[in-house]
Amino acid sequence: MALLDLLGRRWALRVIWELRERPATFREVRERCGGVSPAVLNDRLRELREAGVLEHDDPEGYRCTAHGLALVQALAPLDAWAKAWAKRAARESRSTSDAG
């Protein structure tokens, strides 16, 4: 339940997603997440570091730990499902607009 609580916090999954492939500075993470306030981003980064999902390394910035990358892999089936869902929704939207 603690993991679901952490991941359910606003912007937490997005931050992890944006750091899954390469590290980024605070400013870069903020730009990638577009719209997150500095205070909220700072809180999420701190919480994810405390959970062992992220680490901070100067000068590269924030990155996923091995534990964080394992979490990304565990979430991969959800990503695949979301992509399939988005394609289906787009097809249904097109067929609805074609009928109208």
pLDDT tens figures, 33-71: 998 999 999 999 999 999 999 999 988 999 999 999 999
Q: How far is CA 2 from CA 8, 47, 89, in A?
A: 10, 12, 32
Supply the CATH classification number for the domain 2-75: 1.10.10.10
Q: What percent of the chain has pLDDT over 90?
A: 88
List the chain domain ranges: 2-75
Euclidean distance between CA atoms 68 and 54, whole angstroms: 6
Q: What is the mean pLDDT of the chain?
A: 94
Supply the pLDDT for residue 87: 95
Q: What is this structure's pTM?
A: 0.84
